[in-house]
């Protein structure tokens, strides 16, 4: 491969944070016009690598060559001017600006000295329409769901017509419909000879979209392979250094005892919702973006008000006044958006782990039992295989997947009887997914009752004992295991929308 065929080359790229080596001696060529998959477990160094390519991080050593020319002093502004764009796992949107204003942020359209909002609205609406995305671009970003925020992030990057675009977990929060839209965007970019570096823990997307795969492990480059020469099993093995089963575990114990029941539950987003959750059961909630699944979880957890109907916990009326009250009653939520609702970024792994269950670490009512606190934190680090230099590491310095594990540890430490997992494996690698699936089944076998909200159809079907499908804030179907199929779930997910549109 000739040097001029490479849009980006790196030579001996390394990055150290204090004494921790995040990336070690990476040498790689990225070909012009290809879709290159960057694969590896959480903490493998993927995010560090792409941050150095965009100038968000400065390499400790090594060289970056762009279009045949060595680059020095790279920063986010200069990388954008060169034609490099990035969409990270964490959103960089401004919540109280409109979608259109976010799309044009930093390069606003003006009419004289004033912002030309009308033209920005028009061009942004055209961009979304061209991608077959139906949304009002005048809406504020804070008023749209996580999946739509991710779509806005992607189109914000696309609107700049970049030569090289980095997509870090772009489909993690998208359902099948939104993912299909995203695939369309990728194919159109490919037709324009745009080079794409694609990171996804949904490995089936690697095989559908990518030309080559580069595999990182523990900050090192393991190998680079043509995707057509790989099987799923081989790719997973290269990523984790061992074979991983693709099977979904199942709880071994079942019970007829109803632990949680919603009867005709109502609020601004949820309408006439009724369902039962049994002891030791994992039930799944499926649906499209905006179906009301997360809003239902928030209502049960006391984060959103309930205006009608009732919730029964162990047969007794349960009125969650707040998330703290819900935790005290034995109901815990692992939220969809870990950055803003899950972890406390400025605190350590230890502090996050014990944050929601501090009373059980107190002696004499006010003295913290440090030994117990450390022991419990270390147990969850080991159990969840959280990659961290120590339990005193600030959570903001962990990879996204490891931050998710800290959220899990915090809720598990409360020893809640009812656990709501909202997109539990979003942004988590294939090995960690298996660990979380096994953990969920073990918790169910110990008598915990689990509600799982998932936009990943294989996960929803594989892990659930029953599935409730939601659309427009309502339950449109209850499916038993023998009825599970992707087609039926999608049909029921669209049912409520069709009725609502009529």
Of 391, 415, 439, which residue is a domain's last?
415
**pTM for the whole thing?**
0.67
> 42 and 146: one domain?
yes
| Residue 366 lies inside a defined structural domain of this protein | yes
The pLDDT tens digits of the residues spanning 10-22 come to: 999 999 887 778 8
The pLDDT tens digits of the residues spanning 291-333 come to: 899 999 999 999 999 999 999 999 999 999 999 899 999 999 9
| Residue 202 lies inside a defined structural domain of this protein | yes
| Residue 12 lies inside a defined structural domain of this protein | yes
> 364 and 499: one domain?
no
Res. 338: pLDDT tops 70: no
The pLDDT tens digits of the residues spanning 109-128 come to: 888 888 899 999 999 999 88
Dihedral angle, C-alpha 137, 140, 145, 151, nearest 10 °:
40
Number of structural domains found in the chain: 3
Nearest in space to 293 (alpha carbons), one of 421, 419, 183: 421
User: CATH code at 234?
Assistant: 3.40.50.300
CA of residue 197 relative to chain centroid, distance:
18
| Residue 288 lies inside a defined structural domain of this protein | yes
Cα-trace Rg, the chain: 23
Strand partners, 276: 261
Tell which wins on pLDDT, 226 or 21: 226
The pLDDT tens digits of the residues spanning 160-169 come to: 888 999 998 8
> 195 and 80: one domain?
yes
pLDDT for 500 equals 33
Domain that holds residue 210: 3-240
| Residue 103 lies inside a defined structural domain of this protein | yes
- Check: CB of residue 444 under 8 Å from CB of residue 275: no
> 283 and 310: one domain?
yes
> 391 and 461: one domain?
no
| Residue 434 lies inside a defined structural domain of this protein | no
pLDDT for 498 equals 40
> 225 and 260: one domain?
no
Assign 3 a pLDDT band (cuts: 50, 70, 90).
very low
Nearest in space to 299 (alpha carbons), one of 272, 267, 331, 274: 267
Res. 501: pLDDT tops 50: no
DSSP string, 55-104: TSS--SEEEEEETTEEE-S--HHHHHHHTEEEE-SS----TTSBHHHHHT
Res. 427: pLDDT tops 80: no
Assign 60 a pLDDT band (cuts: 50, 70, 90).
very high
């Amino acid at each position: 491969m000739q040097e001029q065929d490479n849009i980006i080359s790196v030579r001996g790229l390394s990055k150290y944070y204090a004494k921790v080596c995040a990336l070690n001696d990476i040498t790689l060529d990225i070909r012009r016009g290809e879709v290159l998959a960057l694969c590896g477990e959480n903490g493998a160094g993927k995010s560090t690598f792409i941050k150095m390519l965009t100038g968000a991080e400065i390499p400790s050593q090594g060289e970056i060559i762009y279009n045949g020319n060595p680059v020095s002093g790279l920063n986010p502004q200069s990388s954008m001017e060169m034609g490099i764009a990035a969409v990270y796992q964490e959103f960089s949107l401004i919540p109280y600006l409109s979608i259109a204003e976010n799309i044009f942020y930093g390069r606003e359209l003006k009419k004289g000295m004033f912002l030309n909002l009308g033209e920005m609205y028009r061009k942004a609406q055209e961009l979304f329409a061209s991608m077959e995305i139906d949304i009002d671009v005048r809406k504020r970003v804070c008023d749209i769901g996580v999946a739509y925020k991710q779509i806005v992030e992607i189109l914000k990057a696309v609107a700049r017509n970049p030569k090289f675009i980095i997509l870090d977990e772009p489909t993690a929060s998208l359902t099948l419909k939104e993912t299909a839209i995203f695939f369309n965007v990728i194919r159109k970019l490919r037709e324009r000879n745009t080079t794409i570096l694609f990171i996804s823990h949904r490995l089936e997307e690697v095989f559908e979209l990518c030309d080559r795969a580069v595999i990182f492990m523990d900050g090192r480059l393991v190998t680079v392979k043509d995707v057509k020469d790989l099987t799923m099993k081989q790719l997973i093995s290269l990523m984790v250094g061992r074979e991983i089963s693709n099977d979904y575990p199942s709880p071994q114990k079942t019970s007829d005892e109803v632990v949680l029941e919603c009867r005709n539950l109502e609020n601004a987003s949820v309408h006439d919702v009724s369902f039962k959750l049994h002891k030791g059961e994992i039930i799944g909630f499926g649906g499209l973006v905006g179906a009301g699944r997360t809003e239902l979880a928030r209502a049960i957890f006391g984060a959103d008000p309930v205006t009608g109907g009732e919730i029964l916990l162990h047969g007794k009326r349960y009125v969650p006044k707040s998330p703290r009250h819900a935790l005290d009653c034995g109901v815990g939520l692992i939220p969809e958006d870990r950055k803003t609702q899950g972890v406390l970024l400025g605190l350590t792994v230890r502090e996050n782990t014990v944050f929601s269950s501090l009373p059980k670490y107190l002696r004499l009512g006010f003295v913290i039992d440090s030994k117990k606190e450390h022991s419990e934190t270390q147990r969850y680090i080991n159990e969840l295989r959280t990659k961290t230099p120590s339990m005193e590491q600030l959570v903001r310095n962990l990879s996204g997947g490891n931050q998710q594990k800290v959220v899990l540890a915090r809720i598990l430490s409360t020893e809640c009887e009812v656990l709501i997992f909202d997109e539990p494996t979003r942004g988590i690698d294939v090995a960690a997914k298996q660990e979380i699936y096994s953990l969920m089944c073990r918790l169910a076998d110990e008598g915990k009752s689990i509600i799982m909200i998932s936009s990943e159809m294989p996960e929803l079907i594989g892990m659930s004992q029953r599935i409730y499908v939601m659309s427009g804030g309502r339950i449109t179907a209850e499916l038993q295991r023998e009825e599970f199929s992707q087609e039926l779930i999608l049909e029921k997910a669209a049912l409520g929308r069709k009725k609502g549109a009529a």
